[in-house]
Structure 1
Amino acid sequence: MEREPLECRPLGREPLAYLAAALRGVGQVGLQPHLLTGALVLAGLWAAGREVGLPATLGTLVSTAAAYALGVDRGSVVLGLQGYSGCLTGIALVGSLGDHPAAYALTAVGCVLCTVLTAALTALLGPYGLPVLTAPFCLATGALLAAAPAFGRLPHPAAVTVPAPVTAPGALTCSDLWHAFFANVSQVFLVDDWHVGLIVLAGLACAGARAVLAAALGSAAGTATAWALGAPAAQVAAGLHGYNAVLVGIALGAVLLPETPWNAGYALFGAALSTGLAAALTALLAPLGGRTLTWPFVLTTWALLAAAPHLPRLRAATA
């Protein structure tokens, strides 16, 4: 009897494979497709509270199930590449709209939309050799939060405040520095909790020393850049200026470029660049009610990856 093609097999026959793919999807938020990484990250999100852990879990499960149902390439599903945007979308929508049934319904819609957007962006960016990253999350979440106030049955998202000009930034204390180091990591998941950041770093360590070191250096670079630019100490300590730097550090320093001194420096440059870009995008989008989300990470990584083949030192390292 001829075996059924892998990509056509019903989801119900492989429940454990589905759960493993979803768990890897949580780990893929940090660009690491490891089961133990995903398990520890998810445990950290539940430690932050049900209002974080539940939408993260449901978002990942729904987007992964949508990918199975739509017949997406099984390899990408197994690696968790169809789940991480849904994980972030669930956290962002429920966190913005509140722990409300309508917010969870909208999350389900957003997670299916993430799967469709992932396919569309893969087709658009593939010829240029650029990864999708968290762009589906940014697009889906931004669109749904912008649309929510137009529908009376949906809770309204919290208003986005325009950042006030900073004239005299406070000095960073030792407590601010270590809190910022871990909060930068937790803010990748929109959580201001250094305990969560510590657990996420432990999960990254399970994926290898290079991944956790890249995240740590990215966090340090983001904090240093925010301090050098005069960001308010309270915002720096809360990780609001450094989470994109963590993601850029992992992407360029541990995943998308070979391990060389030149590429390590390039990753640190990208981490610092994303920190400045985050402040610029926040100031640009806030008056329009837009959310910065992880756009600085996405745009910085795309730009530096596109430039890398044309930079002799990096081209030599990549060859």
Structure 2
Amino acid sequence: MWTPEKSEGPARGQAHTAAGSSRQKVISVLLYCTGEMTHFSKIMEDKPFPVQLVEWVLRGVSRVILANNPVSGALILGALVMASPWQALMGTVGLLASTLTAVIIGQDSAEIAGGLHGFNGMLVALLMGVFSAAGDWYWWLLLPACLGGATCTFLFSGLAPLLDRWDLPVAVFPFNMVIVLFLACTGPNNPYFPHNPATPPGAPEALNHTQLHVPEVLQGVVVGVGQIYACGAFGPSLLILGAVLVFSPIMAIHALLGSGIGTLVAFMSAYTDIALSNLLGTVGLPACSWGATLIATLMLLLTARHLSAYRIAIGRVGSPEHNLVTHRHWEEGAKEDSTDV
């Protein structure tokens, strides 16, 4: 009676080993797609220019959420197509225009490959589509999308040497400048590029806990992440959040926390955004992301000892997980040096 059971033992062991091997392969593939995927960039170095351009564009898409991952960029682009094919086209055109402009004028190749010269152009084109009063598939709007994307590259190259003196990122300053100038120059009654005027939001309303609907609040938190790409649909916003998770779980948690805090209690950047919206809304202009950009820049300028001790130089910034490991190694090296002395 024991002979058949003994013969099944190796088969079961092989099946268990095969299942474990398959699970390990899946985990390896998932880990391969996380972080900045520097290994993938090395593979793409000897590829033809059009193939490299695709990677640069996808990294530029993910740079909008401070990521640097082509897989995240592909997921986000897919989410934009789900939400609005026209908006996805507009964003891609703006991103291509800014990236190719950087190539033509000879910007740093590492910055181009990392998508740093693409995300501002994408944001400009997306907001042009959102505020356009001409509706979707108004092909003439591709012209200012290209020009706006190219202008972002020039502004980026001009602001970078200035902000580098304080080790500050250019961030989305070019996007905020270009979109506000475009909307101010065209106006709601422009015969070719009319846009819907922004209205002041007014003072924040007090939170009434008796009318709080938890499912709606949770959905609003997720949609708040998608609003970075001017996407107001829950499904695509959830996919965008998944793209953030692929790049960095820590960043995904912070994105949810930031969106939740802004939805529920409105801290400093939210109040700044409301103030700027009220100010610019009087002339029909949106505040865009001026509030978040200015507050983030001011926070980085703080020189308090307990904050500056954890400040990472702009040139060494990677994913949050990578930053934690790098900072830990730096601290250990500093302790060893002090001990040797």
TM-score (norm 1): 0.77
Which of 50, 57, 60 is the matching residue for 1:22? 57
Which of 256, 273, 279 is the matching residue for 1:216? 256
AA aligned opposite 1:109:
L
Q: Equivalent residues in 2 for 1:197-216 (5 A)? A: 197-216=237-256
For structure 2, the residue ranges without an aligned partner over 5 or more in a row are 1-46, 312-330, 332-341
Cα distance in 2 for partners of 1:167, 1:223 equals 12
Pairing 1:312–2:302 present: no
The residue number in structure 2 matching 1:281 is 276
Cα distance in 2 for partners of 1:189, 1:28 equals 11
Alpha-carbon contact 1:117-1:136 (below 8 Å) kept: yes
- Aligned pair in 2 of structure 1 residues 313, 290: CA closer, same or farther (>3 Å)? same
Considering only CA atoms, is the larger Rg found in Structure 1 or Structure 2?
2
Comparing 39-48 with 56-65, which one deviates more in the overlay?
A: 56-65
Pairing 1:67–2:105 present: no
- After superposition, what is the alpha-carbon deviation per residue over 1:66-100, rounded to whole angstroms, capped at 9, x for unaligned? 11111111110000000101111111112212332
Cα distance in 2 for partners of 1:166, 1:21 equals 40
TM-align CA RMSD: 2.0
**Identity over aligned pairs, percent:** 26
Question: How far is 1:126 from its partner?
Answer: 1.1
TM-score (norm 2): 0.72
- Aligned pair in 2 of structure 1 residues 298, 17: CA closer, same or farther (>3 Å)? same
Cα distance in 1 for partners of 2:79, 2:58 equals 13
The residue number in structure 2 matching 1:58 is 93
Q: Equivalent residues in 2 for 1:1-319 (5 A)? A: 14-97=49-132, 98-99=135-136, 100-149=138-187, 152-164=190-202, 171-226=211-266, 272-307=267-302, 310-318=303-311
- Aligned pair in 2 of structure 1 residues 167, 295: CA closer, same or farther (>3 Å)? closer
- After superposition, what is the alpha-carbon deviation per residue over 1:273-294, rounded to whole angstroms, capped at 9, x for unaligned? 1111111111111002221111
Question: How far is 1:51 from its partner?
Answer: 2.2
Cα distance in 1 for partners of 2:83, 2:89 equals 10
Q: What secondary structure is seen at the aligned counterpart in 2 of 1:317?
A: coil
- Aligned pair in 2 of structure 1 residues 200, 33: CA closer, same or farther (>3 Å)? same
AA aligned opposite 2:284:
G
AA aligned opposite 1:223:
T
| Number of positions where the alignment pairs a residue of Structure 1 with one of Structure 2 | 261
- Aligned pair in 2 of structure 1 residues 206, 165: CA closer, same or farther (>3 Å)? closer
AA aligned opposite 1:116:
F
Alpha-carbon contact 2:226-2:241 (below 8 Å) kept: no
Cα distance in 2 for partners of 1:30, 1:167 equals 28
Alpha-carbon contact 1:51-1:95 (below 8 Å) kept: no
